[in-house]
Structure 1
């Protein structure tokens, strides 16, 4: 008679999982007692105390104070040790590099944005290294805490398992670049690479509008268009780790050519450069738009200028914003129908610049084009991040790797 062997967690795997569960709870709570840790984790008091003693010995966790229990006894509180070490998050843009450092407790301790010319791959990589070196010099001048890991967000197709940039349309020569291995030649620490839109989704999950949400869709409208999909508390990556390329669905037959090579992609219609290119064409044929004067005075056009003129009542500026919002709404209707995310979070430079004008058109069109039983149960929000959240998300990615991905599922 055949018997089926039951495969489960080994003793070592189970111990590691329990440790990660407790660390994620300390992360979430900020300060927490041993008793509450046991209650929230479902572990026994004895197991909880044993793991906590190990964490205290390793100095990952420290005792930070006490509070009175219901019986009047003083109970020691635990928190993550901010001096244990720090993590760096890097977000690569077409013309800039953003960096954020966070402590083990998840608090930002350093931020920087520096330009790069984006012309030569090797020069850009050297600029990334230079930015990291500068951050390390500054941080380690003020603390003895060690670097525990580096996360890097890159705008393109990423093989996260190999730290490999497969394709990065906004940066010339960025095809089949083993970026993690290249950085590890100089920085001997754990290094993770991912698409920067997914990094931004991680930032939303831990620090922003996605906090405490297990299901949501994040859409970034920036230099490109991408996103991150959280399903049951987990960031969905797909079989090959490259899910979330939301910008490359067909929106307009015979539309403009996209950087990916296709025609009529969402990215070719609503990305920052796509909007500015379209706006310049429209301005050239509209002698009465106040945007023509803006270009005459400033010599160029910005998203912020379009928003300000729309706010002042310029008809063409409103058309530009509403058209972009309509295209995005058509795409969101498909995403909402397919994923039923419950919450959609919009972020990126374009969404930030166009504020409520674009948001209102996106909501209107999404409602019009999606199935009402699904849309009626969906909330569309704007991200609260005004600065670069990709670097914060990249740092969160590496701290999740260090503490265990439980921190994303709290």
Structure 2
């Protein structure tokens, strides 16, 4: 593809992205947001209408001048399944090309789930959704490290029997559709960007605190991957603990917190929900344990804020069960140690466990459309 055609493809993909984000938008507003001429935008939109991706919706009068025709995605163009694979559950949803969520479902994984259990539940979810609508693509968020380009799950920590699995190949051969994989925290951040409280933000960090810990980084409205796709692997931040070094998720992972909380417990094993209730009510032993967790999470956030200069942070995963007290203490720690004192925002995601599957679905829409446009214009 020559340089001119490459620019046209990139501009076309960006136009589709803006139409999806706004729901509906005029040619005038597209030209303004992209800093392109009205003629260029009109040519792109005309081609997209001809190819069946978008349609003219309605005319809107805004003050003086001619009414503007709004452009929207055609919802029936494609249906994408978004999957979020976590260590204790799998979440799924299906969306149309406008990003509207049509159906959601989930499966619980037991503590001893192996690779076959994960695949059985994954197939079950996709099969369930396929009875509802004919799907065009599948997009999966799953713990890394990943080889995203080749669709390979390498060797995620705390994920037994899931080493060097070509997940893209397995799913594409079984369902005969396009398949993409992406880091779990990255697509959760993308879910926050499209459906959550991050919609009005171009830059923020989504901190996923569960058995694993990761950070999805949204920079200029898009996922920031870094050169090898490992940006945001904050769970593997190396920290000194007494006379040794440990990874952050081996100190503060929810499974580690549960294990420590139950070491001195003589009764029934506590869940993270019960630990959260005791912490909020002021239980001394539990408070000491969570205080340590807050300190290490705070250290990690200070580091990532200093590296990226991003001051809006959303927290997801099972850390939500620790409540606002946890967030308040983490924020106080971060503010105390920031090199440059400025306003920061740390709040819980409002999407719960669905952030990952929702973000994966939208990521799949973008990749599918980009692929179609590239093939069409090549």
TM-score norm. by structure 2 comes to 0.89
Asked whether 1:400 is paired with 2:370, we answer no
Q: Superposed, which structure 2 residues align to 1:7-406 within 5 Å?
A: 10-71=3-64, 73-117=66-110, 119-138=113-132, 140=133, 146-254=134-242, 264-284=246-266, 296=267, 299-350=268-319, 352-371=320-339, 373=340, 375-404=341-370
Mean Cα deviation higher: 118-127 or 270-279: 118-127
1:259 corresponds in structure 2 to none
For the pair shown, the structure with the greater C-alpha radius of gyration is 1
Q: Write the deviation string for residues 255-278 of structure 1: whole angstroms up to 9, x where unpaired.
A: 8xxxxxx95221112111111111
Bigger drift between 355-364 and 210-219 goes to 210-219
In structure 2, what is the Cα distance between the partners aligned to 1:24 and 1:362?
Answer: 35
In structure 1, the residue matched to 2:376 is none
How far residue 25 of structure 1 moved from its aligned partner, in angstroms, is 2.1
Cα RMSD between the aligned structures?
2.4
User: Following TM superposition, by how much is the alpha carbon of 1:254 offset from its aligned partner in structure 2, in angstroms?
Assistant: 4.6
**SS of residue matched to 2:247:** coil
CA contact (8 A) 1:340 1:378 kept: no
Instruction: Please state whether the residue corresponding to 1:89 is helix, strand or coil.
Output: strand
Contact 1:321 1:357 in 2 (8 A): no
Distance 1:251 1:84, change over 3 A: same
Which has the higher mean CA deviation after the structures are superposed, 126-135 or 41-50?
41-50
Compared with structure 1, are the counterparts of its residues 39 and 95 closer, same or farther at alpha carbon in structure 2 (3 Å cutoff)? closer
Contact 1:159 1:242 in 2 (8 A): no
Determine the C-alpha separation between the residues in 2 that align with 1:52 and 1:189: 27
In 1, Cα distance between the equivalents of 2:364 and 2:301? 30
TM-score by length of 1: 0.83
Give 1:73 shift. 4.5
CA contact (8 A) 1:155 1:170 kept: no
TM-superposed deviation, 1:79: 0.9
Deviations 1:277-300 (A, max 9, x none): 11112435xxxxxxxxxxx4xx33
**Structure 2 unaligned residues grouped into runs of 5+:** 372-378
Taking the aligned partners of 2:307 and 2:26, their CA distance within structure 1 comes to 42
User: CA separation in 2, counterparts of 1:102 and 1:12?
Assistant: 30
**1: CA distance between counterparts of 2:201 and 2:2?**
28
